[in-house]
Structure 1
Amino acid sequence: MGKYTIKVGIIGGSGLDDPAAQILQQLVRVSQEDAKNDFGYPSSDLYHGFIGDTEVVLLSRHGVGHKIIPSNVNYRANIEALRLAGCTHILASTACGSLQESIRPGDLVLPDSFLDRTSKRANTFFDGTSKEYQGVCHVPMEPAFHPDIRKIILKAASLTDIKLQDGGTVVTIEGPRFSSKAESRAFQQWGGDLINMTLCPEVCLAKEAGILYGAIALATDYDCWRDTGDKVCVADVMAVFKKNVARVTQLLIKAVELVGSSTDQGIWDQKIDELKNLVESSNVSSNKPA
């Protein structure tokens, strides 16, 4: 038994058939929790259950029935709810547009960096809102996604024979509108591989909260940068998402199993402590918690 009890938060993305909903049907010993915290209500109730011997906590990013636009998702309440529930890891799914010809609709990508183009979202816990997060914290975001979680997801893909592209930069825009062609091409020139509306500030907040975070991106369209072919529209996005949600779900479940079946619990203890120490050392204020 390690220092920390391993518990995996799963954040599901777009659509009524998102992976969180799919996984919920497969959980055992399910309980439901209304998880209001210092930052308000999360997007949905938390659903606690088990995949094998590993406890998981499910949360729907856009709420039941996809009723919350990207700008209005309470990202802080979502991550804080998972932290208070005891989550040591988070696995997230996200639907994305492709900015590269080589990433086709239906392809799965394991992101390793991001470009944040959002402007309306509370993007840190350390703003005096909660006594749990005192001081001013400048957390480094390289690596943006936890390397060991990325290794777990890659191994899960190998074991399930699911094709997964390793590496990619996700541009997160404010939304809810899609990009113009000029914007889409500019994001390409900046080095973007995928584009979505929800990865930021979620990935940043998870790091501030000391939770090991990784995401699986599903390319649903080619955005609008191409001169030929259809431009992005909701109907096509949802059709591709629903066609491929089973693969994303399978990958998430296998990743949970691998996290929970680690033969050396001390490795996770070490990685969690390293992240918590990083956050602590990034706090520059004299009034931070002792």
Structure 2
Amino acid sequence: MADTVIGIIGGSGVYEIAGLEGAAWQTVDSLWGDPSDEILTGTLDGVRMAFLPRHGRGHVHSPTTVPYRANIDALKRLGVTDVISVSACGSFREEMAPGDFVVVDQFVDRTFAREKSFFGTGCVAHVSVAHPTCPRLSAACVAAAKDLGITVHDGGTYLAMEGPQFSSMAESKMYREAWGCDVIGMTNMPEAKLAREAELCYASVAMITDYDSWHPDHGAVDITDIIATLTGNAEKARNLVAKLPGLLGAEREPCPHGCDRALEFALMTAPDKRDPALLSKLDAVAGRVL
């Protein structure tokens, strides 16, 4: 049995959790660069928690410049075992309405300007992301949402776009009609891939703020409506996060889906050919297999 340590990556509004004991912001050094911000750590209902502002407090980073590798590495160094992404998204489905949550289980990665792996020349590794989120962790998020009366959709495909601009109508219709995606956002890739490489369980809670540009009423949406939805979603997200320690428990068994053993057979480079400099940077992410 190992201790559960829950990591939350999201906006600053998610972190004002009532009852978080010993709350303190701390700097975590990473060999992959500076994380987005300091990390708020504390204990809730006997379970350690770590909150990382994805864009930095004050929204400093664009989706492209978020230091995804440093963020995941920093959480791993803190002992995090389970990562929950909380992020805003647009919807491609009439029945997935603004204010609803979608617990994502698949991704289509359309990002192109981001570093997507901890591995490379000198230490090559291939992990499977056929099922990029952890069913156990996702089920806990769904259960928490249902218990709170939040309208939640269990499963959905998230189109990760580069941004920072939103989709053209032609793109939006293609993603919705030809590709069968359900929601669209800019931040869950390569985050989910890196979490898998770091052998961390990962779940994604996508909070719908609007219909994307495919919707005939898209142009009629007032910015005040979107802000009101964002504010309401943040409150619901805080309540959802606060329920996770009770659902996950203070101790955890090995992941039944193998997320925490993703590197078991992934390393391809012969031991005598591995780059010592890269290996030193992989001490937290891949230390179990190195």
Band the TM-score falls in, shorter-chain normalisation: 0.7 to 0.9
Check conservation: 2:36, 2:54, Cα contact below 8 A: yes
SS at match of 1:182: helix
2:59 pairs with 1:66:
yes
2:124 pairs with 1:139:
no
Check conservation: 1:113, 1:145, Cα contact below 8 A: yes
Question: In the TM superposition, what is the alpha-carbon distance from 1:260 to its structure 2 partner?
Answer: 2.1
**Alignment partner, residue 123 of structure 1:** 116
2:179 pairs with 1:190:
yes
Question: Which amino acid in structure 2 is aligned with residue 96 of structure 1?
Answer: C
Structure 2 Cα separation of the partners of residues 97 and 124 of structure 1: 26
Flag the 1:126–1:272 CA change in 2: closer, same or farther, 3 A.
farther
**Alignment partner, residue 171 of structure 1:** 159
Q: Which moved more, 1:149-158 or 1:115-124?
A: 149-158
The 5 A counterparts of 1:20-59 are 20=15, 22-23=16-17, 26-59=19-52
Question: In the TM superposition, what is the alpha-carbon distance from 1:27 to its structure 2 partner?
Answer: 1.5
**Alignment partner, residue 108 of structure 1:** 101
Question: Which amino acid in structure 1 is aligned with residue 36 of structure 2?
Answer: S
SS at match of 2:59: coil
Structure 2 Cα separation of the partners of residues 257 and 196 of structure 1: 29
**Alignment partner, residue 281 of structure 1:** 265
2:203 pairs with 1:214:
yes
Question: Which amino acid in structure 1 is aligned with residue 151 of structure 2?
Answer: K
Aligned residues with identical type, % of pairs: 34
Structure 1 Cα separation of the partners of residues 84 and 223 of structure 2: 25
Structure 2 Cα separation of the partners of residues 141 and 159 of structure 1: 29
Structure 1 Cα separation of the partners of residues 201 and 124 of structure 2: 21
**Alignment partner, residue 223 of structure 1:** 212
Structure 1 Cα separation of the partners of residues 111 and 222 of structure 2: 21
SS at match of 1:219: strand
Question: In the TM superposition, what is the alpha-carbon distance from 1:147 to its structure 2 partner?
Answer: 0.8
Structure 1 Cα separation of the partners of residues 120 and 225 of structure 2: 39
Deviation track 1:167-200 (CA, whole Å, cap 9, x = no partner) reads: 1100010111001000101111201100000010
Question: In the TM superposition, what is the alpha-carbon distance from 1:272 to its structure 2 partner?
Answer: 7.7
Check conservation: 1:222, 1:231, Cα contact below 8 A: no
Check conservation: 1:212, 1:272, Cα contact below 8 A: no
Structure 1 counterpart of 2:232, from 223, 228, 243? 243
Question: In the TM superposition, what is the alpha-carbon distance from 1:91 to its structure 2 partner?
Answer: 1.3
Name the structure where helix makes up a greater proportion of residues: 1
Structure 1 Cα separation of the partners of residues 263 and 226 of structure 2: 37
Question: In the TM superposition, what is the alpha-carbon distance from 1:33 to its structure 2 partner?
Answer: 1.3
Question: Which amino acid in structure 2 is aligned with residue 79 of structure 1?
Answer: I
Structure 1 segments of 4+ aligned residues over 4 angstroms from their partners: 231-236
Structure 2 Cα separation of the partners of residues 232 and 90 of structure 1: 33
**Alignment partner, residue 3 of structure 2:** 5
Question: Which amino acid in structure 2 is aligned with residue 150 of structure 1?
Answer: S
**Alignment partner, residue 131 of structure 1:** none
Question: In the TM superposition, what is the alpha-carbon distance from 1:244 to its structure 2 partner?
Answer: 2.2
Check conservation: 1:110, 1:166, Cα contact below 8 A: yes
Q: Provide structure 2 residue ranges, at least 5 long, that are not aligned to the other structure.
A: 275-288
Q: Provide structure 1 residue ranges, at least 5 long, that are not aligned to the other structure.
A: 129-133
Question: Which amino acid in structure 2 is aligned with residue 72 of structure 1?
Answer: T
Deviation track 1:254-276 (CA, whole Å, cap 9, x = no partner) reads: 12321125xxx4xx332189334
**Alignment partner, residue 14 of structure 2:** 19
Structure 2 Cα separation of the partners of residues 233 and 80 of structure 1: 39
Check conservation: 1:211, 1:272, Cα contact below 8 A: no
Question: In the TM superposition, what is the alpha-carbon distance from 1:232 to its structure 2 partner?
Answer: 6.9
Check conservation: 1:224, 1:231, Cα contact below 8 A: no
Structure 2 Cα separation of the partners of residues 144 and 114 of structure 1: 8
SS at match of 1:258: helix
